[in-house]
Structure 1
Amino acid sequence: MAGPKAPYGTWKSPIGAALAASHDGRPEYVGAVGEEVWWTEPRPSEGGRRALVRRRADGAEEPLLPAPWNARSRVMEYGGRPWAAVPRPEGGPLAVFVDFADQRLYAVEPDAPGSPEPRPLTPVSAVGGGLRWVDPTIHADRGEVWCVLEEFTGEAPTDVRRVAAAVPLDGSAAGDRTAVRELTDDRNRFVTGPKLSPDGRRAAWLAWDHPNMPWDGTVVKVAEVTRDGAFTGVRTAAGGPEESVAQVEWAPDGSLLAASDRGGWWNLHRVSPEDGEARELHPREEEFGGPLWKIGSAWFAPLPTGPIAVVHGRGETALGILDPETGELSDAPGPWTAWSPTLAVQDTRVFGVAASPRSGYEVVELDTATGHTRVIGVRHHDPVDPAYYPEPRIRVFTGPGGRDIHAYVHPPHHPDHTVPAGEPPPYVVWAHGGPTDHAPLVLDLEIAYFTSRGIGVAEVNYGGSSGYGRAYRNRLRGQWGVVDVEDCAAVARALAEEGAADGARLAIRGGSAGGWTAAASLATTAVYACGTVIYPVLDPLHWASADGTHDFESRYLEGLIGPPDEARYRERSPLHHADRITAPFLLLQGLDDPVCPPAQCERLLAAVAGRGVRHAYLAFEGEGHGFRRADTMIRALEAELSLYAQAFGIAAPEVPVLELAE
Structure 2
Amino acid sequence: MSSSPIRSGVPLSAALVLGKTPSLKEPCLLGDRLYWLEQRPQEKGRTTLMGRPVGGGEPQEHTPGAWNLRCRVHEYGGGSCALGLGKDGRPVAVFVHDGDRCLWKLALDQPGAEPMRLIEPTGERFDGALGGGLIDGTRNRWIGVLERGESDQLVAVALDGGALQSLHQAQDFCGYPTLSPDGGQLAWVEWQQPCMPWERSQLWHGTVSASGCIEGARCLAGSGPADPQGISIFQPIWAGDDLVVASDRSGFWNLERWQEEQGRWEPLLPMQAEFAMPQWVFGMSTHAWDGEAIVALACQQGRWQLGRLAAGRWEAIEQPFNDLAGLCAQQGRIACVASSPTEPSGLLELELSRGQWTHTPAAPCPVAPDALSVPLELWFEGHGGQPTQAWYYPPAGGSHDQAPLLVKSHSGPTAMARTGLNLALQFWTSRGWGVVDVNYGGSTGFGRAYRERLDGQWGVVDVADCSAAALAVVQRGWARADRIAIEGGSAGGFTTLAALCFTEVFSAGASRYGVADLSALAEDTHRFEARYLDGLVGAWPQERERYLERSPLHHADRIRCPVIFFQGLQDVVVPPAQTEAMAEALRANQIPVEVHLFPDEGHSFRDGATQIQVLEATETFFRRHFQL
TM range (shorter): over 0.9
- Give the 5 Å matches for 1:348-363: 348-363=332-347
Query: Residue 145 of structure 2 aligns with which residue?
Result: 148
For 1:270 and 1:503, the matched residues in 2 are separated by: 51
Cα offset, 1:88, TM superposition: 6.7
User: Which residue of the partner structure matches residue 26 of structure 1?
Assistant: 23
**Which among 314, 321, 346 is matched to residue 329 of structure 1?**
314
Against the structure 1 CA distance between its residues 321 and 251, is the aligned structure 2 distance closer, same or farther, given a 3 Å change threshold? Answer: same
1:337 deviates by: 1.1
Provide the C-alpha distance between the structure 2 equivalents of 1:151 and 1:129, rounded to a whole number of angstroms. 10
Matching residue within 231, 252, 269 for 1:265: 252
2:4 is aligned to none
Matched with 1:427 is: 405
The answer on whether the counterparts of 2:562 and 2:592 sit within 8 Å (CA) in structure 1 is yes
* Residue aligned with 2:426, SS: helix
Pick aligned residue for 1:443 from 418, 421, 438: 421
Counterpart residue number, 2:532: 556
Give the structure 2 partner of residue 528 of structure 1.
506
Corresponding position: 1:579 with 2:579: no
Q: Which amino acid aligns with 1:228?
A: S
Whole-Å Cα distance in 2 between the matches of residues 90 and 148 of structure 1? 24
Residue of structure 2 in register with 1:313 after alignment: 300
One-letter code aligned to 2:319: G
**CA offset digits 1:211-239 (Å, max 9, x no partner):** 00011011110111111111111111111
Shift of residue 276, structure 1, vs aligned partner: 4.5
The one-letter amino acid of 2:315's match is S
Unaligned residue ranges in structure 1 (runs of 5+): 1-10, 153-159, 173-178, 651-662
Aligned-pair CA distance for 1:380: 5.1
Moved more, 328-337 or 21-30: 21-30
Match of 1:389 among 365, 372, 377: 372
Q: How does 1:192-203 map to 2 (within 5 A)?
A: 192-203=175-186
Q: Identify which of 480, 489, 494 aligns with 1:511.
A: 489
Of 67-76 and 207-216, deviating more is 67-76
The one-character-per-residue Cα deviations of 1:611-648 (angstroms, maximum 9, x if unpaired) are: 21001000112111111111111111111101111121
Query: Any idea what SS the aligned residue of 2:445 has?
Result: coil
Q: Specify whether residues 236 and 582 from structure 1 end up closer, same or farther in structure 2 by C-alpha distance, changes over 3 A only.
A: same
Map of 1:406-425 to 2, 5 A cutoff? 406-414=389-397, 423-425=401-403
2:527 partner SS: coil
Could you tell me which amino acid in structure 1 is paired with residue 136 of structure 2? H
Contact kept in structure 2, 1:85 and 1:96, CA below 8 Å: yes
SS at match of 1:39: strand
Note if 1:131 corresponds to 2:148: no
Alignment of 1:472-487 (within 5 A): 472-487=450-465
Aligned to 2:547: 569
Q: Give the Cα separation in 2 of the matches to 1:276 and 1:298.
A: 26
User: What residue is the counterpart of 2:227 in the other structure?
Assistant: none
The equivalent of 2:467 in structure 1 is 489
Q: Secondary structure at the match of 2:142?
A: strand
Query: Match of 2:286?
Result: 299
Query: Does 2:101 align with 1:107?
Result: no
Map 1:162-311 to 2 at 5 A. Answer: 162-172=152-162, 179-187=163-171, 189-241=172-224, 242-252=230-240, 254-273=241-260, 276-311=263-298
Q: Is the contact between residue 288 and residue 313 of structure 1 (CA under 8 Å) also seen in structure 2?
A: no
- Taking the aligned partners of 1:275 and 1:207, their CA distance within structure 2 comes to 23
Structure 2 gaps of 5+ residues are: 1-7, 225-229
- CA offsets, 1:256-275, max 9 Å, x none? 11100000000001123566
Aligned-residue RMSD, C-alpha: 2.0
The secondary structure found in structure 2 opposite 1:522 is: helix
Q: What's the counterpart of residue 601 of structure 1?
A: 579
CA apart distance, 1:35? 0.5
Q: Which amino acid aligns with 1:272?
A: Q
C-alpha displacement at 1:167, in angstroms? Answer: 1.1
Q: Displacement, 1:12?
A: 6.3
> Is the 1:352–1:363 Cα contact (8 Å) retained in structure 2?
yes
Partner of 2:437: 459
Contact 1:27 1:378 in 2 (8 A): no
Deviation at 1:312, TM superposition (A): 3.8
Closer/same/farther in 2, CA of residues 275 and 162 from structure 1, 3 Å limit = farther
Distance 1:45 1:127, change over 3 A: closer
Query: What is the CA distance between 1:530 and its match in structure 2?
Result: 0.2
Q: Confirm or deny that 1:86 pairs with 2:84.
A: yes
In structure 1, what residue type is equivalent to 2:65?
A
CA distance 1:304–1:502, change in 2 (3 Å): same
The residue that corresponds to 2:3 in the other structure is none
Shift of 1:146: 0.6
Shift, 1:398, TM fit: 1.2
Give the C-alpha shift of residue 95 in structure 1. Answer: 1.3
Change (3 A) 1:380 1:337: farther
Q: Distance in 2 between matches of 1:127 and 1:100?
A: 11
- The residue correspondences of 1:36-115 to structure 2 (distance < 5 A) are 36-57=33-54, 59-87=57-85, 93-112=91-110, 115=112
Q: Which amino acid aligns with 1:161?
A: S
CA distance in 1, matches of 2:403, 2:372: 17
1:369 aligns with 2:353: yes
Distance in 1 separating the partners of 2:444 and 2:526: 22
The code of the aligned residue for 2:320 comes to: P
SS of the residue corresponding to residue 168 of structure 2 reads coil
Kept after mapping to 2: 8 A contact 1:222/1:273: no
Q: Which digits, 9 at most, give the CA deviation of each residue in 1:377-429, with x for residues without a partner?
A: 43552213233211210111112432011100001014xxx75xx84211010
Aligned: 1:470 with 2:444:
no
**What is the TM-score with the length of structure 2 in the denominator?**
0.94
Q: By how many angstroms is 1:194 displaced?
A: 2.2
Whether the 8 Å contact between 2:268 and 2:312 is mirrored in structure 1 is yes
| Partners of 1:312 and 1:319 within 8 A in 2 | no
Distance in 2 separating the partners of 1:139 and 1:463: 41
Instruction: Kindly indicate whether the alpha-carbon contact (under 8 Å) linking 1:51 and 1:70 is maintained by their aligned counterparts in 2.
Output: yes
CA distance 1:273–1:588, change in 2 (3 Å)? farther
- Which residue of structure 2 lines up, in the alignment, with residue 15 of structure 1? 12
* Of 612, 632, 640, the match for 2:610: 632
Cα distance in structure 1, aligned partners of 2:527 and 2:87: 42
Q: Deviations over 1:181-225 (max 9, x none)?
A: 1110132x1111421222332211110000000110111101111
C-alpha distance in 1 between matches for 2:441 and 2:258: 31
Change (3 A) 1:530 1:233: same
Task: Give the secondary structure class of the aligned counterpart of 2:345.
Answer: strand
Deviation of 1:299 (Å): 0.9
Candidates 542, 567, 575, aligned match of 2:520:
542
- Cα offsets for 1:347-402 (capped at 9, x unmatched): 11011111100012111112111122211x43552213233211210111112432
Query: 1:67, CA displacement in angstroms?
Result: 2.3
Q: 1:126 to 1:394 in 2, by over 3 A?
A: farther
Report if the CA contact (8 A) 1:213-1:556 is conserved: yes
Write the distance in 2 (CA, Å) between the matches of 1:322 and 1:196: 22
Residues 1:285 and 1:110: Cα distance change in structure 2 (over 3 Å): closer
Q: Secondary structure at the match of 2:257?
A: strand
TM-score normalised by length of structure 1: 0.89
Q: Which amino acid aligns with 2:158?
A: P
Please tell me whether the aligned partners of residues 192 and 296 of structure 1 are also in contact (alpha carbons under 8 angstroms).
no
Q: Is the 8 A contact 2:509 2:563 kept in 1?
A: yes
Partner of 1:194, secondary structure, is strand
Separation in 2, partners of 1:518, 1:129? 38
In the TM superposition, what whole-angstrom CA distance separates every residue of 1:45-85 from its partner, at most 9, and x where no partner exists?
11111121101356221111112211121111111111122
In 2, Cα distance between equivalents of 1:303 and 1:581: 54
Deviation at 1:111, TM superposition (A): 4.1
For 1:317-349, what per-residue CA distance to the aligned partner results, in whole angstroms no more than 9, with x for missing partners?
A: 0111112xx222222222211111x12112110
In the alignment, the residues of structure 2 paired with residue 168 and residue 568 of structure 1 have an alpha-carbon distance, to the nearest angstrom, of 50
One-letter code of the match for 2:366?
A: P
1:572-616: per-residue Cα shift (whole Å, max 9, x none)? 101111111110010011111111111101111221223210010
